[in-house]
Structure 1
Amino acid sequence: MEVATKEEHNPIAQDVKKGKLRDYHGPIFWNYGMIPQTWEDPNVVHPETKCAGDNDPVDVVEIGSASIAQGTVEPVKVLGVLAMIDDGELDWKIIAIRAADPMAAALHDISDVEAKMPGVISGVREWFRWYKTPDGKPLNAFGYEEKALDKKFAIEVIEETHHAWKKLVEGKTAKGKNWLAN
């Protein structure tokens, strides 16, 4: 499911590719959503990854113990971020936990995830590496030597993409696919 950026009011809808519902590789074991009022600007090339943004809101992978109903707005605790590169576009994946999750009190940064939930970060990374291969797409890559970056870096990504979103809303940047016009 994705935010349908080309549809009026940007509803949540199943992702479509070339007019067909998109199939993904295997089940996902986490909640997958986005952070409102963020935008990965396709007009700005990131200095480290050398890729521009994917013209979407920032994705969030919630690693808690409960399934969250589709469309739910839920406070999360940001823990880290992966810099996924999909078809040459930078597609940040914020790693977070629902603030009300029992594990939230024990997790403060990405290093805590590795220590207290071993394998979760590599599981998230590998799922996103492979998830579009049923469509015939190549494996996705990751910047920063494939490392999950810490909470401080993740907060900076959120702040930067929120600033980009504000510029877009204010008409102070190129509009990419112009998904906010709806």
Structure 2
Amino acid sequence: MTTPERLTGKQPMCALLVRSLTRTVFSGLSTHRSTAAAGCRSAFQQNRRSKMSYTTVERGAPNSLDYRLYIKGANGFVSPFHDIPLHANAEKTVFNMVVEVPRWSNAKMEIATKEKLNPIKQDVKKGNLRYVKNCFPHHGYIWNYGAFPQTWEDPNHRDQHTECKGDNDPIDVCEIGQRVANRGDVIQVKVLGIMALIDEGETDWKILAIDVKDPLAAQMNDIEDIKKLKPGFLEATCEWFKIYKIPDGKPENQFAFEGQAKDKAFALNIITETHEQWRNLVAKKTDSAGIACENVSVGSSPFMMTQEDAQAIVDKSAPVAPAEPINSEVDKWHHITKL
């Protein structure tokens, strides 16, 4: 049986530019050789950064403890935590987002930060797979939920705004566009704002972003645009995070800034900070806190491995199997009567 793969984008197209520049170099314009070569490299790198495609490879049985979703790039398997670039364009105004949980679904999927190659897997609590409860009027997650690659909320760093330490994960992203994404998609988004959840005493930033291909993307550039074009959405987001653990017997979650979202400029500063914390992580300049830092592309990292190593990790995972049934309890509605 072959491993199923799903295309999540377009292949980069720089071949014509390479051939054109090669002909120019060898037509006698030797004085322009260095400039042309540098221009080709720059154009290729920018095009590759913005249009690189990824596929997903499933292993194990969906809805089981051994299910894993690996991400594959043009040259082989990659870590969605360490190898996918944070920025999707040269101007650093568009970001790559790894979708862990599609909108309206309940399975609490996440990048496995402590496993080599960091596949997406379902979170486990006391030996059981985790599903978020349907807290009326919400069903499952109300956005496409995921993370920014190459970011890390350092659990040894106390944030100056929240006075709480990081949660040891990549920074979370709520994508608010109209499309329901697929698990494992790598989509390009614009940052609009940020909220600061305090989850069991840890800082858990929530980036608010929109897919650049969404019909409203051109009109949405900052937090005020969400208020204008999607009235009530910020309030619903705040409510969702406050109450989603209550059916599990947990207390209501708290927010910094009295639950108010901060603007794009504030969000970009937090992203920059968490990107730098990630750099220190993969460079082995800080305590890894149990994080698996193996990667195939970060040249300055002592954790860099070969594609053969990456392939071996996937080969050792559970073989593909049919999905296991989901307990009907997942569809139950929960009415939260006290906020």
Q: Any conservation in 1 of the 2:117–2:294 contact (CA below 8 Å)?
A: no
Residue 4 of structure 1: which of 112, 126, 136 is its match? Answer: 112
Number of the residue aligned with 1:75: 188
Q: CA deviation at 1:8?
A: 2.2
Any idea what the Cα deviations from partners look like across 1:32-91, whole Å, max 9, x if unmatched? 010000000000111221100000000000000010111010000000000001000000
Matched, 1:36 2:144: no
Q: Which structure ranks higher in relative contact order (CA pairs < 8 Å, sequence separation ≥ 6)? A: 1
The runs of 5 or more residues in structure 1 that have no matched partner are none
The runs of 5 or more residues in structure 2 that have no matched partner are 1-108, 135-139, 296-339
Provide closer, same or farther for how the CA distance between residues 89 and 179 of structure 1 changes in structure 2, counting only shifts above 3 A: farther
Residue 138 of structure 1: which of 227, 236, 251 is its match? Answer: 251
Q: CA deviation at 1:181?
A: 4.9
Q: Any conservation in 2 of the 1:23–1:132 contact (CA below 8 Å)?
A: no
Number of the residue aligned with 1:25: 133
Number of the residue aligned with 1:118: 231
Structure-1 separation of matches of 2:111 and 2:250: 21
Q: Any conservation in 1 of the 2:242–2:252 contact (CA below 8 Å)?
A: yes
Number of the residue aligned with 1:175: 288
Provide closer, same or farther for how the CA distance between residues 133 and 181 of structure 1 changes in structure 2, counting only shifts above 3 A: farther
Amino acid at match of 2:154: D
Structure-1 separation of matches of 2:186 and 2:210: 13
Residue 169 of structure 2: which of 56, 61, 72 is its match? Answer: 56
Larger CA deviation: 140-149 vs 126-135: 126-135
Matched, 1:45 2:158: yes
Q: CA deviation at 1:124?
A: 1.2
CA RMSD across the alignment? 1.2
Q: CA deviation at 1:6?
A: 2.1
Q: CA deviation at 1:125?
A: 1.4
Structure-1 separation of matches of 2:161 and 2:190: 25
Q: Percent identity?
A: 53
Runs of 4+ off more than 4 Å: none
Amino acid at match of 2:284: G
Q: CA deviation at 1:28?
A: 1.7
Structure-1 separation of matches of 2:294 and 2:275: 17
Structure-1 separation of matches of 2:174 and 2:114: 23
Number of the residue aligned with 1:155: 268
Structure-2 separation of matches of 1:4 and 1:167: 19
Larger CA deviation: 8-17 vs 70-79: 8-17
Between the two proteins, the alignment pairs up a number of residues equal to 182
Q: Any conservation in 2 of the 1:23–1:135 contact (CA below 8 Å)?
A: no
Task: State the TM-score, normalized to the length of structure 2.
Answer: 0.52
